[in-house]
Amino acid sequence: MDRFGKTWAWGAAVFAAALALYALSIGGGRLALDDWGNIYGCPFVRGGLSWANVRTALATVGQGGMWMPVTHVSFMADITLFGGGWHVHHAVNAVLHAVNAVLVMKFLLVLLRRLLPEGPRDACAWCALAALVWALGPQRADAVAWTVSRKEELWSMFALLGLMTWCGWLVRGGALRLAAVFALFALSCLSKPTAMCFPALAWLVRRYAGSDADLPRPRWKSFAVYAPMLAVAAFVALVAVASHVRPEGMDRTDISVPLSWSALNSAVSLGLYLLHAVVPAGVYADCRAVVGGMPLMAAPGLVALVVAVAALAFALVRARAPEARRAAWLAALFYLFAIFPALGLVGGISDNSMAERYTYLPSVGLALALAFAMERLAPRLGVRKTAAAALLLSAVNAACAVPVVLSYADDVASAERTLKFDPDHWRATRTIGCDLAARRGRIDEGVEMMKRSFALHPSQQTADVLAYTLACRGAEGDFAEVRRLGAAALAKPALDRGGMMLDALAIAAMREGDDETAVKCFSAAIVAPARSHSNSHAILNLGLAFANVGKRANAVMTLTRLAGSTDEGVRRRAVEALDQMRSGTAGRFPYYDNPPLPER
């Protein structure tokens, strides 16, 4: 019996609240971590919807370090149907989250009615309030406001639909209904391989939320249903491992770590996830791994895990009704099984130790515990007081979520929030350094930040942006530092797939008068396969360097390519150089010193 309105009214309210909060993310841009590599830096996504691009998405295992063709197809649809742009991707993410909030409410309602066959009182209201607490939690920001984390929304959406269809099959049977379960499971796996946990979640629902209305089935028939699910899950697990071997479009790779450290990091991460679910503060993007040492925030994470286990044990001991014990087990195991594939217990991990987006679907288990607790406590505490407490918790969650959502507006906002909690975060340090040099004109401060980032973690991308900035600054000792950082690329240019280190070497060489080296490096840089920064400046300076070494024909051909350049300064300098060569008044051309500095 529901005294507080119909299901559709509660669903509309939950949808509107979730959409209103995450509408704040629509004006945001992208994060350099892997947004670009999975969307506009990915040729088959950038090309929009087509059968050829869909086939390529299905066949490409390592894009973004993960096999997620349905997620890539959704980005293609954004580009084809709505014209693309980061605001479009953010808007679609916000709508998907609002839809998922309604699905969470419906799923909780299904489970609550199965757990309490006598008919839970005001079930729709309690499930809606629990879904609202879930939807407005700051932990959701990582999965919604970060564009490429749409994979979390999609796999969760298909998994929730699949589990609800599974509950329908348990009661009513039917080959078509079972086929729909497998289809939704497949779509979930194709959105993100973490969906390999679906068979375990389906078993949990049947085991702990069994209903007298379920059709009796012999054991062999149950095995016949679970066996293909487990086979698909095993295949997806193998593909997930393969996709991490050679990731494309990412500024990170997997790190092989001892099992003992993986177990410790998993325990700390699990405790912190639970802590942040209860205390909605301290959430930030890109939590770095400290391989070999104690994970960041190890003490609070381990304490929170111990407290959570003790709380579960207490609830099981004190629970008198069988349905209360079943609800406690279902909520706890749902959380654990859903998050297990993301804990990094097997294989390597990326240089991120944890990510709040991994809790997107697992936290539905906590929402179930909240909905069940409200249904049981309302007769004792009073319906209005219980509902008011849930609304207050939702408001606190929303207030804590706002700054987290806004921190995903761009790289700088995200990095600034990250450095508040982790001052030694090397990637965030590099981001702020690039911003100081490129946007704020404080190049010396930016260089020092980049050097600190490189000292904390000597990544190749940090070396690239540091060398490029040093070459453009040209202070005493900068060119020598560029040659030291780029020694490997100078010896073998093919190693620099992005071309930025080659640009830096060429700029340093040309400014020192070594035009032969400048020609060699600029020629390799402009054809680098993964080049994403300005090409017109490199082409202009290559043409000038060709003229300096006496290769007039090459110089004319190269400079002529800039006739249609959108950079007015580059086009004007190319025309001036061509006129000087034709009139015979050209001496040695100096380096054209006006390139845009890297912003990431």
| CA–CA distance, 437 with 424 (Å, rounded to integer) | 20
Question: Please, which residues have CB within 8 angstroms of residue 47's CB and are 6 or more apart in sequence?
Answer: 53, 76
Mean local confidence (pLDDT), 377-398: 92
438 band by pLDDT with thresholds 50, 70 and 90: confident
Residue 142: closest CA among 304, 405, 357: 357
Helices (runs of H) and strands (runs of E) counted in the chain:
28, 2
Tokens of 273: 């996830």
Whether 90 shows a pLDDT value over 90: the answer reads yes
The residue whose two tokens read 């491992």 is 241
Distance CA 422, CA 441 (A): 25
Q: What's the rounded mean pLDDT across residues 104-131?
A: 89
* Residue 4 in this model has a pLDDT that exceeds 60: no
State yes or no: pLDDT of 411 exceeds 90. no
Q: Please state, in angstroms and rounded to a whole number, the distance separating the CA atoms of residues 12 and 235.
A: 38
pLDDT for 19:
97
Tell whether the model's pLDDT for residue 353 goes beyond 80: no
Q: Where are the alpha helices (DSSP H) in 192-297?
A: 198-208, 219-245, 259-278
* Per-residue confidence band for 529, with pLDDT thresholds at 50, 70 and 90: confident
Q: What is residue 585's predicted lDDT score, i.e. its pLDDT? A: 80
Instruction: Give the model confidence (pLDDT) of 319-334 as tens digits.
Output: 888 899 999 999 999 9
Going by C-beta distance under 8 Å and a sequence separation of 6 or more, which residues neighbour residue 236?
Answer: 189, 193, 195, 196
pLDDT tens, 19-67? 999 999 998 777 776 777 788 888 899 999 999 999 999 988 877 678 8
Mean pLDDT rounded to a whole number for the chain: 88
Complete DSSP assignment for 84-97: --HHHHHHHHHHHH
Q: In this predicted structure, what is the pLDDT of residue 238?
A: 87
Q: Choose the weakest-confidence range: 33-42, 413-422, 481-490, 509-518.
A: 33-42
pLDDT computed for residue 1 by the predictor: 45
The answer to whether residues 348 and 367 touch, using CB atoms and an 8 Å cutoff, is no
* Domains of the chain listed by start with CATH number: 7-412 (no CATH), 424-583 (1.25.40.10)
**Total residues found in the chain within this entry:** 600
Alpha carbons 104 and 95: distance in angstroms, whole number? 14
Of all residues in the chain, the percent with pLDDT exceeding 70 is 92
The identity of residue 380, as a single letter, is R
How many other CB atoms are found less than 10 A from the CB of residue 385? 12
Instruction: Please name every residue paired with 288 in a beta bridge, in sequence order, or none if there are none.
Output: 352
Q: Confirm if 130 and 103 have CB atoms less than 8 A apart.
A: no
Q: How many CB atoms lie within 10 A of CB 367?
A: 27
pLDDT at 599: 60
**202 pLDDT exceeds 60?**
yes
pLDDT recorded at residue 255: 56
pLDDT above 60 (res 2): no
Residue 40 has a pLDDT of 84
Q: How confident is the model at residue 352 (pLDDT cuts 50, 70, 90)?
A: low
Express each pLDDT in 485-499 by its tens digit: 999 999 999 889 889
Instruction: Find out whether 582 and 393 touch, Cβ atoms under 8 Å.
Output: no
Give the pLDDT confidence of 246-303 residue by residue, as tens digits. 555 454 444 566 778 888 888 999 999 999 998 877 777 778 777 767 888 889 999 9
What per-residue confidence (pLDDT) applies to 335?
97
